[in-house]
Amino acid sequence: MPVLDGIKAELAAHLHTLIGKMSLGTTGGQASSRDGGVGNAAFSITPIVQRIDDRTISVSATFDTSYISARDIKEVSVHGATSLDNQTYRTSFHPISKNATNEIRVDVVLEVR
């Protein structure tokens, strides 16, 4: 039996309350639904979290020129108040150098299905 739309809306509302930070990390490695989230967080900031509709949440953050890392950035994670809380989303990507001359904007859309 499929999950009813009303419950999906409540799950999305609860998910919205669990998101407190977005982190960029330097570990990388393949992301999966079973990993522990960001491995070595270089920066963590409070993202803008918005409900798009009953089942969809938008999470956005900009890491401006004040954020500088000696190591390349290889992953992003969305989580609760600390990088150990409520790991909601993680992905890894090709290394990006983060220095005082560039900024990184991350937009994540989460949908309850």
pLDDT digits (tens, 9 = 90+) for 40-84: 889 999 999 999 999 999 999 999 999 999 999 999 999 998 767
Name the residue range of residue 56's domain: 5-111
Domain count for the chain, please give it.
1
Q: In 10 A of CB 94, how many CB atoms? A: 8
CA distances, 13 to each of 10, 38, 57, 70 (Å): 5, 24, 9, 37
Rounded distance between C-alpha atoms, residue 56 and residue 69, angstroms: 32
φ/ψ of 15, rounded to 5, equals: -55, -40
In this structure, what token pair is assigned to residue 2? 């499929």
Rounded distance between C-alpha atoms, residue 52 and residue 12, angstroms: 10
Quick: pLDDT tens for 4-41. Answer: 889 999 999 999 999 999 999 988 777 666 666 666 88
